[in-house]
Structures are given as structure tokens and as C-alpha cells.
Amino acid sequence: MKHTGTILLTAALLLAPSMCATAQNNAAAAQNEDKVYNTRTWSQEDATRIVQEVRHKLLSLTNYSVFDSLSFGIQGKTIVLRGYASRPILKSDAEKTVKGINGVAGVINQIVVLPNSPNDDRIRIGVYRRIYGQPALRRYSGSPMGFGDFPSIARMAGGITQDPPRGYHAIHIIVNNGHVILTGVVDRESDANIASMQANSTPGAFSVENELMFPGATQQGK
């Protein structure tokens, strides 16, 4: 019996170093994976800073107007630009300014450039007047009334997107071959519904997709 016990004890002692080595190897592999993961992503501090910088730089673009809508996502250390641009220069300017942010490894530009269409321009003017001319929605714009009432050289040469209304606009109006998309943020659901009804009443608009956000709203629940 003593002999058998000695054999079992010896086997256990031989097995223990092997198990320890396996555990150490697994721990080392996990650490290596964490290191690789960390080199592909930002720290929480850097991520917060970069998100704020991207948002600020996109909103500060001089070519960004009420007829454009930009958003972005993150893949590792790469920024993915999305949305709609009424002019090609906005797409290229957005990519250029985001690439210049410290810590951004690359930019995937998925911004859709909208077609240059006189019919779409007429719809843009119509939707704009109906939404921002509605008393309940006036507070969402910092521009004076009367947009589009007077011709301009830029507008006559290249369409309404070449001379859009300036200033603050909470509701953005995207028109793509007659189809309207409303984006932005409003204070309440009733305002989002009013904006949608105003857009739907615009002659020439084929459809209206209401993506306006408000407190308590989700993309799926709208």
C-alpha cells in the first residue's frame, strides 16, 4: 500500500508542473491578446477626446448646411464617416479635417453625395419654408424668415445648395431624388411629428423618412 501511495504521489507531483505551465501559458496568451487589442483601440480618455473633436470639427465645417447631415462611427482607431452631402466638397472636407485629429489612424468615408437636381432643390426650398415657417418650429432656426424669396448669383449658377440659409438649424433636410429625410434633434415628439407633416405636404416630395430624435426616442421606436 505504501508503494502504491508513493507511485500516486509521484504522478501527482509530475502532473502539477505541467498544469502550472499550461496556466502560465494561458495567462501569457491572454495578456498578449490584451496588448494587441489595446494597440488597436484608444484608451477611454483618448476615445472621449477624439469623439468630441470629431463632432466639433464636423459641425464647424463652413460647407455644412441645413441640407446636409453628417454622422460618424468608430472601428478600432478608424473613424467611419456617414451621412449625406449636398456638395462633393463637403465630403472631402469632412475626411480631411478628421484625418488631422491626433490619434486617428484612418478614415473610411461613406458619406453619400446627393445628386445635383433642380427638382430636388425645389423640394428643399419647399420643405424648408414649411418647417421653419411653422410657428411651433421657428425656435429651431437662427436664420431670418424669407429664405429663397430673393435670387442670388450663386443660387442661379449652381442651385440652392450653393447658397443655403446660414446659421443654426436643428432640423436638417435631406432630399435625394425626391425622397426627403429629416435628421437632427428636437425637444419633443410632437415637434418631430409636426416637422414630418410639414415635409409631407410639400409638392413633389415622394416620401418622407423622419429620423428626428427627441428625449426618450430611439431609432427603432420611431
**148 or 111, which is more confident?**
111
126/100 same-domain check: no
Among the residue ranges 15-19, 98-102, 115-119, 137-141, the one predicted with the least confidence is 15-19
102/154 same-domain check: no
Model confidence at 55: pLDDT above 60:
yes
**Strand positions, DSSP E, the chain:** 69-75, 78-85, 106-109, 112-113, 171-176, 179-184, 207-210
Which domain covers residue 99, as residue numbers? 44-113
| 121-126 LR contacts (CB < 8 Å, sep 24+) | 121/159, 121/160, 121/161, 121/175, 122/204, 123/175, 123/178, 123/180, 123/202, 123/204, 123/205, 124/67, 124/160, 124/161, 124/173, 124/175, 125/160, 126/202, 126/203, 126/204, 126/205
pLDDT at residue 12 in the model: 40
Q: Which of 97, 113, 129 is the last residue of a domain?
A: 113
Residue 66 one-letter amino acid = V
Q: Which of 96, 113, 130 is the last residue of a domain?
A: 113
Among the residue ranges 25-39, 75-89, 180-194, the one predicted with the least confidence is 25-39
Q: Measuring CA to CA, which residue among 33, 46, 56, 31 is closest to residue 77? A: 46
- Mean pLDDT value across residues 63-74: 96
Among the residue ranges 37-46, 52-61, 68-77, the one predicted with the least confidence is 37-46
- Mean pLDDT value across residues 69-97: 97
Among the residue ranges 9-18, 35-44, 131-140, 213-222, the one predicted with the least confidence is 9-18
Question: 148 in a domain, yes or no?
Answer: yes
Q: Which of 113, 141, 156 is the last residue of a domain?
A: 113
Asked if 184 and 158 touch (Cβ cutoff 8 Å), the reply is: no
Average pLDDT, the chain: 83
pLDDT at residue 165 in the model: 85
pLDDT at residue 161 in the model: 81
SS3 42: coil
How sure is the predictor about 125, in pLDDT bands with cuts at 50, 70 and 90?
very high
pLDDT at residue 36 in the model: 44
Residue 168 one-letter amino acid = Y
pLDDT at residue 14 in the model: 41
The pTM (predicted TM-score) of the whole model is 0.76
Strands 179-184 and 171-176: antiparallel
Contacts of 138 (CB under 8 A, 6+ apart): 132
State percent of the chain over pLDDT 90: 66
pLDDT at residue 31 in the model: 53
The domain tally of the chain equals: 2
- Mean pLDDT value across residues 181-206: 97
103/187 same-domain check: no
Read off the C-alpha cell for 128.
424648408
Model confidence at 148: pLDDT above 80:
no
